[in-house]
Chain A
Amino acid sequence: MTAEANFDHVVPMLPAFINGTLDRLEAGQVRQHLMRCAGCRAELAAWEAVGDAAWAATEQARLPSAELWGRVWNEIDGSETPAPVAGALPRGSPEPLRLGARSNGAPPRQRWNERMTTMLRLSSRRVSRPIWGTVAAAALAGALILTPVGGYAEGLITIFQPKQIVAVPITPDEMQSLPDLADYGTVNQPAHQKSQRVTSAAAASAAAGGMKVLVPGALPSGVPTTATFEVIPGESGSFTFSSAKAQAAAAAKGKTLPAMPANIDGSSIQITTGPAVVTVYANQQALSQAASEARTSENTESAAANLGPTLIIGQTTAPEVKSTGVSVIELEDYLLAQPGISPDLANAIKAIGDPSSTLPIPIPVNKAVSHPVTVQGVQGLSVADSTGLGGGILWQKDGSVYGVAGTLPESQLVAIANSLH
């Protein structure tokens, strides 16, 4: 049935209108009808409420258990022997993939907006900031959740220097309820230094203190071949724990906290991030236009559509955290016991293993999926936008953290990552 066949009203078309599966002509007809029919607009409101609730009804669905993946391979292996394939992982080796709940209050139509957001984030500085912001946030969270320590005093020891990267699934609720670390002490961060944009790898290397700036051996067709290089200076900051401040902040919120151990109170940690270089291969004009349209946007999809294949490559020296005293384990135990850290999240972080050498990357379970991949001979992390439109690969090697992201299939991103030289 089309809107024309039922010219007077468009009631049966409304679910498909809402989920965006009508073709352009039908959608236009429905839109026009809605402009002049209050009855159908009321029906639209009813259907939107139903659609929203249908999402909400699945929100409590927990993720499939981590054991499911192993059971799948057990069943497959127990019943057949598939031909071995080069590159295939050994039995059961792909780790459980976590993905799930949609954020509260998000109506179904937001999937398209989220897609747009993803597209735009995979571009220019809007891309680089979130990506490296995530790394920095992870480092900080890793440091603060997994570490602490002593400011500028003597005897600074390195307590955190990532050697590998792992995903920590985090739900929207957990994200929102995370304790505000500013309540636990004082952050001392020097003034933010400006980044600079250059047009060659050599200039980027020079601006980044001689860092070897890697470039891909080959680009997939469709990806612009000219790149811009953004050089972000390294930064250093410290955090000093204060039991009195933590208790006061908690009291102001009507909460009580577990007592801060005496050796943590007053101790501080120093966090240092090295310079970072972010290389962007994108249609700059389309990028600016898409970003501009996204701000004003009723028609963000067409802007995203014009963006075309986009590739971002980032590299930075691994962040480092130093301390004068408290051990990583002591800090981990204390911080994970704070209100707002769910038992699931605490268990996920504790399960990381050696927290002093692992960079945890928070993966919002409603927005992204992740699984381990092998890249440049080491284990990295593949993170994909849950709509499948974009993704990225993160890995750590020889003291540096690398990332390759873009609106490209994972296989191409891995190939690009492996071609970096």
Chain B
Amino acid sequence: MHHAAAREVTWVNQPVADAERRVLDRIAHGDRNALAELYARHQAVLFRYLVQLTGDHGLAEEVLQDTLVAVWRSAASFEGRSTVQTWLIGIARRQAHNNLRRRTLPLADVAELEVVPANEPDPQDAVLASAEREELAAAIKCLAPVHREALTLAFVNGLSYREMATVLGIPEGTVKSRLSNAKRALRTLLEAAEGVGP
């Protein structure tokens, strides 16, 4: 269970967080090296998030470009109420929305409001644990963007429920529903591929 101890090292990250805030301050004062530093630090997770969100490498690059320009222009507005990563993902998401609006990418799950997150273990989820990694990864790419996004934020970006709620603009309870729905959708895809299930 060693993966559970992560929060215990939060304080180790604090100097990094402070340093990043100073970097944003430098960006706000027009320091180009500072934008390069910020990019170096967050490029990978931002890009992965955007590729998953848009499902398209070229589009993800376009949005990443828009995001960096937006960061350059709005660094002064960072108030430190979230981590820098959460703030950046929020900007990237807004840029993606602006870009994707005309492409009608659905980023809300109309069904999730009606579904209470599962509290009970579901024996059918065993199909997920026993699936091949590649098979699961391929299925994730077939998920609705709204579900892919939730899984990416949780497991690639490593955001907390609160941070996800901030980025997605939804209550924490809905974050849990969305993750639960994503898992259920993934299971359905696997079962369909294997010719079993509903």
The interface of chain A, by Cβ under 8 A from chain B, is 1, 6, 8-9, 11-12, 15-24, 27, 30-31, 34, 37, 39-40, 42-43, 45-59, 61-65, 68-69, 71-73, 75-76, 80, 82-85, 87-89, 93-94, 97, 99-100, 105, 108-109, 111-113, 115, 297-302, 304-305, 369-371, 384, 386, 388-389, 409-411
Contact = CB atoms under 8 A, between A and B. Distances in A.
A4 B152 CA distance: 27
B109 interface: no
B9 to A, nearest CB: 4
Contacts of A24: 7-8
B160 A51 contact: no
B155 A82 contact: no
B107 interface: no
Interface in B162-185: 163, 172-173, 176, 179-180, 182-183
Interface string B131-163: 101101111110000001001101110111101
Contacts of A8: 119
B115 interface: no
B36 interface: yes
Given A64-B61, A88-B30, A97-B43, A109 B121 contact: no
A299 B2 CA distance: 7
Contacts of A15: 154-155, 179
Interface string B106-133: 0000000000011111110110110101
Nearest to A93: B32
Contacts of B3: 17-18, 20, 108-109, 112
B122 to A, nearest CB: 7
A80 B74 CA distance: 13
B41 interface: yes
B193 interface: no
B183 A85 contact: no
A21 B160 contact: yes
B43 A112 contact: no
B30 A84 contact: yes
Given A50-B186, A99-B40, A388-B16, A21 B29 contact: no
Contacts of A83: 29-30
Contacts, number: 255
A331 to B, nearest CB: 32
Residue in B33, B69, B148 whose Cβ sees the most chain A Cβ within 10 Å: B33
A58 B176 contact: no
Interface string B23-65: 0001001111101110111011001100110000100110011
Contacts of A19: 6, 154-155, 158-160
A305 B12 contact: yes
Contacts of A59: 137
Given A64-B47, A76-B69, A94-B33, A20 B61 contact: no
B68 interface: yes
B112 to A, nearest CB: 13
B36 A76 contact: no
Contacts of B118: 11-12
B4 interface: yes
Residue in B11, B39, B40, B133 whose Cβ sees the most chain A Cβ within 10 Å: B40
Given A12-B117, A76-B72, A42 B123 contact: yes
Given A53-B137, A57-B137, A299 B5 contact: yes
A88 B32 contact: yes
A370 B19 CA distance: 17
B47 A61 contact: yes
Contacts of B133: 49, 52-53, 56, 105
B7 A27 contact: yes
B80 interface: no
Given A301-B5, A371-B36, A1 B176 contact: yes
B8 to A, nearest CB: 5
A94 B36 contact: yes
B196 interface: no
Contacts of B36: 69, 89, 94, 97, 371
A54 B64 contact: no
Residue in A53, A76, A108 whose Cβ sees the most chain B Cβ within 10 Å: A53
Contacts of B69: 72, 75-76
Contacts of A68: 61, 64-65
A199 B8 CA distance: 34
